Chains A and B, each alone.
Chain A
Amino acid sequence: MTATLWLLSALALVLAVWSVRRLAALETPRWAGSASAVLFGGWVLFFWQAGVTAFEVPRVLLPAPLAIAQSLWDHAATLGRDFVQTVLKAVLFGWVLGSALGFAVGVAIDRLPFLQRGLLPVASLTSTVPLVAVAPIMVMWFGFEWQSKAAVVVLMTFFPMLVATLAGLQAAGRIERELMHSYAASYTRTLLDLRLPCAVPFIVSALKVNATLALIGAIVAEFFGSPTVGLGFRISTEAAKMNMALVWGAIVVAAVTGSLAYALLVRLERRLAFWHPSVRSR
């Protein structure tokens, strides 16, 4: 029996390697690259499922993909509430507010080079500081509800946007600026018609970085204390209860949210910065 099993696994492995290699080696069609990635992911899921079933890996250690899918289906209502709590309230609110504040401060100090030279190094250094560690303080100040998580997210998203806005506003070329000057364009005109459009790619990149940061911030902040709902709460409590299938389910929700947010922002970038070389070359 076991011999057959090993033989079958070996055959499946050979088939998997061969099929992915063949697909990856194709020059045409253009989707062959993505297709081989999808196929590879599919084989990983297959071996995960087969391995867990064949070797009877305990569910607390590693649940099979089908068990995770089953738990996603069974607990859809719970995970839906977690999604609303963490993503639609904490992440969305904090991401919008933090990014908007970063942008507003960036534009506001645009005419104050002294403040820029002072704030820029400080703001850049914050990327090396574990900002998410302010979560316990925010929980003390704003309570267990989503507001404290949103506050953490605001803090984490503010600085990347500030840095990106400041860099973006410097991105307009000298020739273009002098052209605007020769038109006797006012500061506001130049800002609106030239410098802000030039800053768009920087700002959208910061929005992308911030989307991931915001998800991480909200989920980790929930590890420090939260009401009995939320993706981070679900992950930490169900992991403590050894209900790993549901933990993986919550992670799938978070991962899909992150990828979707990124995909949406890439579309936004194409819409807003269609003129930029990095977009045109795609």
Chain B
Amino acid sequence: MGIRVAMNRVLPVATVLAALLLLWYAGAVGLNASGAIERVLSNQPGWTTADLVAATWAMERPVLPAPHQVALDLWHSTVDWPLDSPRNLLYHAAVTAQSTLVGFVLGTLLGMLLAAAIVHSRTLDRALLPWIVASQTVPVLAIAPIVLVILGSLGFSGVAPKAAIAMYLCFFPVTVAMVQGLRSPQRIETELLHTYAATRLQALWMLRLPAALPFLFPSLRVAIAAGLVGAMVAELPTGAQAGLGARLLTGSYYGNTVGIWSALVLSALLGLGLTAAVAGVERLVLQRRPA
């Protein structure tokens, strides 16, 4: 990558991020000012603007914590404790990532299997596919509490209910995209395989599946993001002890603003990391394809 490309791409993004950071600091001053005057500066008459700014960036329970406060809290909560301690934020991130990934893998497999079935069955295509497509317009995440109650009363606990929710959220977009992808080969290609007397299974494996990959991967990126939200929401209701969602909820119960923000930042990083992993797999797989 040449310097000009880097300047063209990196510089604008860096500028925008720097502007956001400045805005964040300014916002911290604006939002925390009244609280800082009331709680920190009241016993120190004759304070200056500099004192006020310093106070707003170092409050115990700020309305909006300053970026360096969040960064410090993130650092302390990931380094100060052993990795398997519930006080370590990385432990919670790992719990969430685990249920997301389990659900993602299961949901993707299920979605691909169902898509293959739909492509080969006119009945499923006409009777089932419209419902799956329509489900995209419905907030399916709302049934998460029901899934938790049902699986809970059946005796499942821990990863299983969370993974189940992540699974069904991943399942819908993958199915829709896979059906589209498995149907993407041209007529001339399917007819060529027909003249070779290829079986349906061979056609699926050699023609339809490779043709579907470019459709599959964008849906996988959508799916893993949806699965992460699902796993975090599944950690909310009563009894959730671990996971980033549980951390967000306990943070809001105890008014621990900095804690909420570091959980938020870590969940954003987790989302970015999971998507980057999917994008990496995509690059590896699509690279090996003959053009």
A interface residues, Cβ below 8 angstroms from B: 20-21, 23-25, 32-34, 36-37, 39-41, 60-62, 114-119, 121-122, 125, 127-130, 132-137, 139-141, 208, 211-212, 215-216, 219-220, 223-225, 231-232, 235-236, 239-240, 242, 244, 247-248, 250-251, 254-255, 258-259, 261-262
- The answer to whether A247 and B145 have CB atoms under 8 Å apart is yes
Task: Of the listed stretches B136-144, B192-200, B203-211, name the one at the interface; the rest are far from the partner chain.
Answer: B136-144
Chain B 102-132: CB-based contact to A (< 8 A → 1; otherwise 0) = 0000000000000000000011011111110
- The answer to whether A139 and B63 have CB atoms under 8 Å apart is no
Interface of A is mostly: helix
Complex alpha-carbon distance, A225 and B251, angstroms: 13
B interface residues, Cβ below 8 angstroms from A: 8-9, 11-17, 20, 63, 122-123, 125-131, 134, 136-139, 141-143, 145-146, 148-150, 153-154, 221-222, 224-225, 228-229, 232-233, 236-238, 244-245, 248-249, 251-252, 255, 257, 260-261, 263-264, 267-268, 271-272, 274-275
When distances are taken between beta carbons in the complex, the residues of chain A under 8 Å from B148 are 239
- The answer to whether A251 and B268 have CB atoms under 8 Å apart is no
Taking A24-B127, A118-B12, A136-B252 as contacts, is the C-beta distance between A258 and B149 under 8 angstroms? no
Nearest A residue (CB) for B230: A130
CB of B223 to closest CB in A, whole Å: 11
| Residue in B9, B143, B224, B238 with the greatest tally of chain A CB atoms within 10 Å | B143
When distances are taken between beta carbons in the complex, the residues of chain B under 8 Å from A114 are 12, 15
- The answer to whether A223 and B137 have CB atoms under 8 Å apart is no
| Residue in B131, B137, B222 with the greatest tally of chain A CB atoms within 10 Å | B137
When distances are taken between beta carbons in the complex, the residues of chain B under 8 Å from A128 are 221, 224-225, 271-272, 274-275
- Some 9 contacts from A to B, beta carbons below 8 A apart, are A34-B130, A114-B12, A118-B16, A127-B225, A137-B260, A140-B63, A223-B236, A235-B145, A247-B145
- The answer to whether A40 and B267 have CB atoms under 8 Å apart is no
- The answer to whether B12 and A254 have CB atoms under 8 Å apart is no
Nearest B residue (CB) for A236: B145
Give 4 new A-B contacts, CB below 8 A, not counting A61-B154, A122-B20, A240-B238. Answer: A117-B8, A117-B12, A239-B145, A259-B134
When distances are taken between beta carbons in the complex, the residues of chain B under 8 Å from A39 are 127
When distances are taken between beta carbons in the complex, the residues of chain B under 8 Å from A248 are 146
CB of B230 to closest CB in A, whole Å: 9
Taking A219-B141, A239-B146 as contacts, is the C-beta distance between A132 and B229 under 8 angstroms? yes
When distances are taken between beta carbons in the complex, the residues of chain A under 8 Å from B153 are 60-61
CB of B285 to closest CB in A, whole Å: 19
CB of B55 to closest CB in A, whole Å: 20
Complex alpha-carbon distance, A155 and B21, angstroms: 17
When distances are taken between beta carbons in the complex, the residues of chain B under 8 Å from A247 are 145-146
Complex alpha-carbon distance, A117 and B8, angstroms: 8
- The answer to whether A251 and B271 have CB atoms under 8 Å apart is no
Taking A20-B123, A136-B251, A219-B141 as contacts, is the C-beta distance between A244 and B146 under 8 angstroms? yes
When distances are taken between beta carbons in the complex, the residues of chain A under 8 Å from B232 are 130, 133
- The answer to whether A117 and B13 have CB atoms under 8 Å apart is yes
Complex alpha-carbon distance, A261 and B136, angstroms: 12
- The answer to whether A40 and B141 have CB atoms under 8 Å apart is no
- The answer to whether B271 and A25 have CB atoms under 8 Å apart is no
When distances are taken between beta carbons in the complex, the residues of chain A under 8 Å from B225 are 127-130
When distances are taken between beta carbons in the complex, the residues of chain A under 8 Å from B228 are 130
- The answer to whether B127 and A36 have CB atoms under 8 Å apart is yes
Complex alpha-carbon distance, A244 and B153, angstroms: 13
Complex alpha-carbon distance, A133 and B262, angstroms: 11
Complex alpha-carbon distance, A259 and B263, angstroms: 33
When distances are taken between beta carbons in the complex, the residues of chain A under 8 Å from B260 are 136-137, 140
CB of B209 to closest CB in A, whole Å: 25
- The answer to whether A122 and B16 have CB atoms under 8 Å apart is yes
Nearest B residue (CB) for A22: B123
When distances are taken between beta carbons in the complex, the residues of chain A under 8 Å from B255 are 140
When distances are taken between beta carbons in the complex, the residues of chain A under 8 Å from B8 are 117
CB of A12 to closest CB in B, whole Å: 16
- The answer to whether B149 and A242 have CB atoms under 8 Å apart is yes
CB of A70 to closest CB in B, whole Å: 18
When distances are taken between beta carbons in the complex, the residues of chain B under 8 Å from A215 are 139
Nearest A residue (CB) for B264: A133
When distances are taken between beta carbons in the complex, the residues of chain B under 8 Å from A119 are 12, 16
Nearest A residue (CB) for B8: A117
CB of B119 to closest CB in A, whole Å: 14
Nearest B residue (CB) for A37: B130
- The answer to whether B143 and A129 have CB atoms under 8 Å apart is no
When distances are taken between beta carbons in the complex, the residues of chain B under 8 Å from A224 are 236, 248-249, 252
- The answer to whether A40 and B128 have CB atoms under 8 Å apart is yes
- The answer to whether A258 and B138 have CB atoms under 8 Å apart is yes
Q: Point out the residue from A61, A130, A212 that lies within 8 Å of B268, measured CB to CB.
A: A130
When distances are taken between beta carbons in the complex, the residues of chain B under 8 Å from A62 are 150
Taking A20-B127, A61-B153, A239-B148 as contacts, is the C-beta distance between A115 and B16 under 8 angstroms? yes
- The answer to whether B16 and A255 have CB atoms under 8 Å apart is no
- The answer to whether B233 and A223 have CB atoms under 8 Å apart is yes
Complex alpha-carbon distance, A261 and B11, angstroms: 40
- The answer to whether B138 and A137 have CB atoms under 8 Å apart is no
- The answer to whether A212 and B137 have CB atoms under 8 Å apart is yes
Q: Point out the residue from A61, A118, A130, A240 that lies within 8 Å of B13, measured CB to CB.
A: A118
When distances are taken between beta carbons in the complex, the residues of chain B under 8 Å from A244 are 146, 149
